[in-house]
Structure 1
Amino acid sequence: MVKLAAKCILAGDPAVGKTALAQIFRSDGAHFQKNYTLELFIFDSAGKELFSEMLDKLWESPNVLCLVYDVTSEQSFSNCSKWLEKARSQAPGTSLPGVLVGNKTDLTGRRVVETAQAQAWALGQGLECFETSVKEMENYEAPFHCLAKRFHQLYREKVEVFHALV
């Protein structure tokens, strides 16, 4: 059995639900064909500029990215481009698989970021788009399963390239 490990950066503004999302997500691993297991090491960021120097060290060489915004905050959505740029700068020359996660969908009356708007932006950035309500425990696993599958796919592609060289 092959056991893979991926460094997952959890990024976004303060109070969008990053830590809650990380805490609610528990799994024994994502199992793939041929008994592959992938373990995600989730690095939760504080979301404040005050900690930017520490982030540079923690964010070094990520394998996957989970961008989180609050669907009731246009500012948190707008700042995703800043977080994406910062994460990609830590993985130069690589394809950094990622997902965009709109959290707090249970606050329907306060929603300001529409699903279509987020999907269009994510598509333009090469990200998969998800919405969740950690409070209601809705759809919180899907983004991480997507990241695991994307990382596994990159692994398989690298193995195929290696075998072609041998």
Structure 2
Amino acid sequence: MAVRLFLCSVRTGDPAVGKTALAQIFRSDGAHFQKNYTLTTGVDLVVKTLPVPDTGDSVELFIFDSAGKELFSEMLDKLWESPNVLCLVYDVTNEQSFLNCSKWLEKARSQVPGTSLPAGVLVGNKTDLVSRRVVEAAQAQEWALGQGLECFETSVKEMENYEAPFQCLARQFHQLYREKLEVFHALA
């Protein structure tokens, strides 16, 4: 029997790192890249269903694309009350956006006191800007692993690797679901 799971994911990071572009390109299966964006004000919602390979199951992702401005923090606090997974996005050409991932991760963790976020990914965007790169992949990988996150790099503009973080989130969530199901079966 195929299972359809519903996953709430919060995507966050500093302004202008490519969160909205990543959401839009993912939603459109690589068919829609806008060259000009206005900064997100508040929260946008992207919904997409992904099959989980080798399972027959699917995960419906409800991805909340949050503005990277502190101005919207009260609204985000409501949204962040119980995310299933977290997607942190930074710009590989902007070291401060990478360093601020610690702040964003701490904010997410503070919303679920007494427990830890079960899963998440760190996404370095704008890898097409090779000559401007300041955050090396190894540095991001080391930090992500230390935080219990999977690490990905992408270029939304070049449509490279934009699906991988979302597929990872779907697999992570499906695995969490299977583990909880096993616990329930063991108790029965």
TM-score, L = length of structure 1: 0.96
- Higher helix residue share: 1
Amino acid corresponding to residue 17 of structure 1 in structure 2: G
**2:18 counterpart residue number:** 17
**TM-score, scaled to structure 2:** 0.85
Q: Which segment drifts farther, 133-142 or 88-97?
A: 88-97
CA distance in 1: counterparts of 2:125 and 2:99, whole angstroms: 14
Question: Could you list the runs of 5+ residues in structure 1 that have no partner in the other structure?
Answer: none
Decide whether the 8 Å contact of 2:50 with 2:167 is kept in 1: no
Question: Which contiguous aligned blocks of 4+ residues in structure 1 show a shift greater than 4 angstroms?
Answer: none
Give the aligned partner of residue 4 of structure 2. Answer: 3
Q: CA deviation at 1:33?
A: 4.1
Is the aligned partner of 1:142 residue 2:164? yes
Secondary structure (helix, strand or coil) at the match of 2:146 reads helix
Cα RMSD over matched residues? 1.2
- Structure 2: which 5+ residue stretches go unaligned? 28-47
Residue from 104, 113, 116 that aligns with 2:126: 104
Instruction: Measure, in 1, the Cα distance between the counterparts of 2:158 and 2:137.
Output: 18
User: Which residue does the alignment assign to 1:73?
Assistant: 94
Q: 2: CA distance between counterparts of 1:91 and 1:35?
A: 31
Q: Secondary structure at the match of 1:25?
A: helix
Aligned to 2:187: 165
Give the Cα–Cα distance (whole angstroms) in 2 for the partners of residues 40 and 134 of structure 1.
Answer: 19
Q: 8 Å contact 1:88–1:96 — kept in the other structure?
A: no
Question: Percent same amino acid among aligned pairs?
Answer: 77
- Aligned residue pairs total 166
What is the SS of the residue equivalent to 2:87?
A: strand
**Deviation of residue 21 (structure 1)?**
0.4
SS in 1 for 2:134: coil
| CA-CA distance at 1:100 after TM superposition | 0.4
Pairwise CA distance, 1:59: 1.6
Q: Matched residues in 2 for 1:33 and 1:146: separation? A: 14
The answer on whether the counterparts of 2:49 and 2:59 sit within 8 Å (CA) in structure 1 is no
In the other structure, the counterpart of 2:84 is: 63
